[in-house]
Amino acid sequence: MEISLKVKKALVGGSSKGIGEAIARQLAESGASVTLMARNEERMKSIVSQLNTDEGQKHQYLVVDFSNFDTFKSTISSFFEHNTIDILVNNTQGPEGGGALEKNVDDYQNAFDLLFKSVVYTTELALKHMQKNRWGRIINVASVSVKEPLSYLALSNTIRAAVVTWAKSLAYDVAKDGITVNSVLTGYFDTDRIAQINSKKAEKMGIPEEEVRSSMEDLIPAKRIGKPEEYGYLATFLASDQAAYITGTNIPIDGGLLKSL
């Protein structure tokens, strides 16, 4: 099976590194014109210069601050005044780690703005063209913690669960328009985010980071942490015509980590 996204335009959040970058690179390899969206302008500029252009694609980047919803709202609104997209990958940096007793109501509000409001607002803007064109793909980068909450990620557990239930509701409403909405439940991947979480756990437990990573790998039936490019393959399939009948799903990509059905 060959996936072609030629003439499709994609907007990928959090794409200056990690999973977002891997998704952007694979979408470009499959022929899409990609707009990167993140905070690090220099990094995005470098990635854009490396993306595939064999299919005549035109890539660009958009500097945003997901952690400030008001400025994000202004920036993304301006973008959609002059651009349309066919594929939206909703992905932001994660909120600070920590257990439920370590967080207060303001922490939850900030996480809500970061993980939920930015996703819903961007999707609303993107849907106008998708519905008019009767084709669209919305892919939400979520977490396995919406099924099996992780005690040290209370904010992420809570708000990402809201995202996937919203996505399920949206999928029902837009399926008739040829638009699919799917959420990917992310397991452990070799990214800066995992490195930061492991570093904090190691410090809290008073053990080496290598020991924390090894323990993490032991939890995974595949006995390894995922490669970001593997995530890119799944996202690209979900963005394709071949995945037109897949919508409203929560798809784990976790090496078998989840124990629940």
The helix (run of H) or strand (run of E) holding residue 256 is none
pLDDT of residue 204: 82
pLDDT tens profile 20-41? 999 999 999 999 999 999 999 9
Is 152 noted as a catalytic residue in this protein? yes
Q: Which among 108, 121, 152, 233 is annotated as catalytic?
A: 152
pLDDT tens profile 202-257? 888 889 888 888 888 999 999 999 999 999 999 999 999 999 999 999 999 999 99
**Nearest to residue 5, comparing CAs of 32, 23, 26?**
32
Q: Given pLDDT bands bounded at 50, 70 and 90, which one contains residue 152? A: confident
Q: What is the percent of the chain with per-residue pLDDT over 90, rounded to a whole number?
A: 85
pLDDT of residue 142: 97
pLDDT of residue 55: 86
The helix (run of H) or strand (run of E) holding residue 33 is strand 33-38
pLDDT of residue 200: 81
pLDDT of residue 251: 98
Q: Rounded to an integer, what distance in angstroms lies between the CA atom of residue 14 and that of residue 231? A: 14
Rounded to the nearest integer, the mean pLDDT of the chain is: 95
Token pair, residue 82, equals 């002059």
Q: Per-residue pLDDT averaged across 92-105, rounded?
A: 91
Predicted TM-score of the model (pTM): 0.95
Q: Per-residue pLDDT averaged across 7-20, rounded?
A: 97
Residue 182 near residue 167 (C-beta atoms within 8 A)? yes
Q: Per-residue pLDDT averaged across 3-9, rounded?
A: 97
pLDDT of residue 202: 83
- Per DSSP, the residues of 135-189 read -EEEEEEEEGGGTS--TTBHHHHHHHHHHHHHHHHHHHHHGGGTEEEEEEEE--B
Contacts for 53 with CB less than 8 Å, ≥ 6 apart? 59
CATH 3.40.50.720 fits 9-188+227-253, yes or no: yes
pLDDT tens profile 49-82? 999 999 899 999 999 999 999 999 999 999 999 9
pLDDT of residue 61: 98
Q: Rounded to an integer, what distance in angstroms lies between the CA atom of residue 74 and that of residue 80? A: 10
Contacts for 35 with CB less than 8 Å, ≥ 6 apart? 9, 10, 11, 12, 59, 60, 61, 62, 79, 83, 85
Q: What is the percent of the chain with per-residue pLDDT over 70, rounded to a whole number?
A: 100
